[in-house]
Amino acid sequence: MPETLRIDVIYALPSRQQLVSLKLPAGSTVRQAIEASGLLQKHPEIDLTSNKVGVFAKLTKLDAPLRDQDRVEIYRPLIA
pTM for the structure as a whole:
0.92
Is residue 28 predicted with pLDDT exceeding 70?
A: yes
Is residue 79 predicted with pLDDT exceeding 90?
A: no
Which CATH number is 4-74's, of 3.10.20.30, 1.10.1740.10, 3.50.50.60, 3.40.140.10?
Answer: 3.10.20.30
Quick one: average pLDDT of 7-29?
A: 96
Residue 33 CA, chain-centre distance (Å), reads 6
Q: What local confidence, expressed as pLDDT, does residue 2 receive?
A: 74
Domain ranges of the chain: 4-74
pLDDT per position as a tens digit, 53-66: 999 999 999 999 99
What separation in angstroms does the CA of 78 have from each of 39, 50, 57, 61? Answer: 19, 12, 15, 19
Quick one: average pLDDT of 32-59?
A: 97
What own/partner pairs with CB < 8 Å and gap ≥ 24 does 56-62 have? 60/30, 61/30, 62/29, 62/30, 62/31, 62/34
